[in-house]
Chain A
Amino acid sequence: MNAGATKPASAAAPPRPAASVEDAPHIAGAAETAAGTGAGVPAGPTPTTPPAIDITGLTVRYGQVTALEAFDLQVARGETVALLGPSGSGKSTVLKAVAGFLRPTAGRVRLTGRDVTHEAPNKRGIGVVVQNYALFPHMRVADNVAFGLRARRVPRAETARRVAEALEMVGMAGYARRYPRELSGGQQQRVAIARALAIRPPVLLLDEPLSALDAALRADLLGELQRLRADLPDVAIMYVTHDQTEALALADRIAVMRDARLVDLDATDRLYRRPPSEFTAAFLGAANLIPAQVVRDCADGAGDAQARVGALTVPADPARAFRAGETAMLVARPHTLGIEAAGADGTLPATLTGSQWRGATYRLTCLLDEPSGVEVRCDVATMDGVPALGQPVGIRLPADPCVLVPTGTQR
């Protein structure tokens, strides 16, 4: 599994024609992604090895309702791509179309180069794990795991061996004779994963697999999935979730979706550290978006870019080219902000309006004096020295330049 502080970038997505319009999704190509992280590149498609999953122009409509619009994505062998987005953004629709559970209105789905757009689900050879486990209640655990192998007429001895292997892999070897109803939610999900893996699929689709579990179990199983990922170096995984923690922990790349469209696609750490749009900045990591004015013309990633926030001029890291005077948004994560006494040098004047204890940290809410009415959230380890609610404070921006994203891409 590639989870960790630094994630290797994927070479899965080939470079696409650059879209210059602001609303166009930011889709990082292989070279860009690798350069962005400076990390190694896992096995990906080369001119001779097609992507494990290749989705082009996928559109799904139900009458007048568009569930998915012109969706493009390539996932390399051994790569994990998380589809992240709010409810109704179309991420599960992508998964269902890839699995063959619904027929797309337009577009193509290819699995390792084979066009499966109109193929039945049972011909695609994909492993699918869903939120509610979907175990067969009348079958024992071993029979559940063996179901796919029996459907493929795998010889009995081989089936038994692979069932044992799959159950061993998810730590459920001792539960083969149990019925699903005799297992906890976490155990049932482990069995569901074993069942999907038993057929040794080149592609594994996980549709919010941890959503039905409580917080402690979710954390446990997330660790299991990370370990499992390391054991499956050749399997391409598409992981649908609305939980950014899961996406950050598991994915090599994240595809951010909204309103049936792909908004941004990039390597996980790069998307987190340098979000290209307001929406991604807010959705992935709940960043503060502070309206600012660009001081001078600057190019994407220009080192000398500056932005003015209220009376303060700060260095910025532009996510695209900006013109002098243009309004943009400074992206500042809550944990990177500091709270100081009102009037301290180099701070933004604000009023403390709320505090919330979160165990390890306190989440403070402040209203900026200028631009007025802008709410900023700030995480601090202690309340020592923090003024009382309703009192003026100074908000210190991080020492590193904040990412500057165009406005109007949140909606």
Chain B
Amino acid sequence: MTTIKIHPYRQSAGGWGALRASLESLKHQGILADGTALLLKSNQAEGFDCPGCAWPDPDEHSTFEFCENGVKAVAAEGTSKRVTEAFFAEHTVRALADLSDYALEDQGRLTSPMAYDAATDHYVPISWEDAFARIARHLHALRSPHEALFYTSGRTSNEAAFLYQLFARRFGTNNLPDCSNMCHEPTSLGMPESIGIGKGTVTLEDFEHADTLLLFGHNPGTNHPRMLGTLRAAARRGARILAFNPLRERGLERFVNPQSPAEMLSNHGTEIATHYYQPRIGGDYAVALGIARYILESGHADERFIADHTHGFAEFKAQVMATPWSDIAAESGLRLEDLQEIGAIYDAGRAAIITWGMGITQHKHAVATIQMLMNVLLLKGNIGKPGAGACPVRGHSNVQGDRTMGIWERPPAAFLDRLAAEFHFEPPREDGYDVVGAIAAMEDGRARVFVGMGGNFANASPDTTRAHAALRACELTVHVSTKLNRSHIVHGRDALILPCLGRTEIDIQDGRPQGVTVEDSMSMVHISQGMRAPASPHLKSECAIIAGLAMAMFPNDQIPWRELVADYDRIRDRISRVVEGFSDFNARVHKPRGFHLDLPPRSRRWITATGKANFLAQPLQEVVAGRYRPAVAGRLFNLMTIRSHDQYNTTIYGFEDRYRGVSGVRNVLFMHASDMQEMGLAEGALVDITSHWPDGERAAPGYAVVPYDIPRGCLAGYYPELNVLVPLASHADRANTPTSKSIAVTIKAASHA
């Protein structure tokens, strides 16, 4: 019998709980003493960029620019535990497959390159040279370069990302799927059509000037906790903060800043959200539409801005005004009076910022929702003035930078032109595979080699069963990693694990320490310098691994791979000539705090087809009609996947979801108490979850229901375990982002309780 500890959390986010969890994390990784010293270098001008989230660092740094989950990320990388050659000799891959994802990563840092030996079912040591030669042999044997996939995780530095895309394109393919495909791809697609750029338009300073903040579909307390400091400051200034989330999330409600003695000792945190709304899952499009309708009805739209800077207003207005309030309310899941209140608050604001996360992007209508959010900003002229703008909150620390560096399966022609001119070869022009396309291609043999630069593709991907089968169908899988994970266990016929340096570690090339650069969620580019001795003398940097592979692939190439990797300034020089906005890169990035990329919408320049910002909208009826509503026996629920407080993306640090009051387990399903009662389910009852799609059903058995403050008809459970329920073909229109926040499911009492 399993005991689930469910204990509603009464405290604020942050506070002593965060200090305690941070301490436990350092203890667990066996780095209590030097871990603290290491953390003091986190997010400092002379230190390393936290390998956790992409929230920017303030200009005025405090000594402690890290958060609880940053501590966990740094501690996990700095762990004293090691996965040695002896470890692999002791365990077959079959035996490792029985370990949980937590247990796999908890073995510690990888220490030397390993190759899969099918005869013994063990990973065995291999030299770097032989590993590179083996990959080169597989790649050369392909019928076409398009049979290779080069996946990137968002931790990869700008320099490594630039070299990696250069390698893939030099080989002849744009098959560069990345983790963006699974998170903010709709942002990257929707925003440029609206305002000409696929990035946020605000800086941290804007948060100091905003009087209204609309937070859609993200949970800063867990996924980007340093944002709580920004929100706390805004709240204390009296800004109105409107949170939109189907679940009640403590981090959006109350926060005790661990650096505030008064808050720490008074037991009174700062109230974050002045207004908290719980739309039903996927109801945000209608919420944004409601705000637009309110502004239009009030007659308070910024007519001057609209006339000078926008296109398509008349059609947009007609469409919005033709949408009945009753439809808007029904689709949003909010009451009409709530929608009116939201509209009135937004209308009264002088300068507003809208933030959003994967609660917006992982839906079929994600692109439409993001464009509706842009419409809301445009209506009040809330772009291109202090304290106002769009703020997509990115996940991993350099996920935005990787895309800037050309990790993109659909690269713009201008980028390829500059790449060709700089390196004197003709890069491929046809689009490559994104994540969804890559899985399908591996399944049916169109792709036969998978190379993963970081990440954990096997667990991060949707439709787990199909994704795993796809990886197993490959002739070769290669993973550049710091720690053991499921992607090493779910491998191709031939497989390699290439261990790399972490961001906290000193990277020496040609006898000199190198720094790498990253771009945060607000387009600040800065340098990150490792401070700690590498976990093993056999590790290579990601840049060195790519260069080593390139030299094995293309001997005597015109691209001077060895020279580039000997001094990362040389890579940055090349970037400065290929990537827009990076001129004089080295000079600018070596200044303290780095530099901010030029974002045209900040100065009301619109790089769009019309030369203006565009009002774009999809009729609400189309959004509703496009949603998959299978006819099933039993009650249909809408399930969203969420992260626990003890994880970062696919990495599980532990089993404490503190703010949601769950401890010790991850097979839980958050559900409204009335729905539980209606289904005859007691707290802790086990259920089997089934998702429905035209190609069949998918099952996740044995989940314990937990009563939670979530709208009726909505469910939530943890990623990545519930990826198994996300059909590969269920993805955002045009962006192909898996609809992990909107899965049609039924539940029934578990068959094996």
The answer to whether A and B belong to the same complex is no
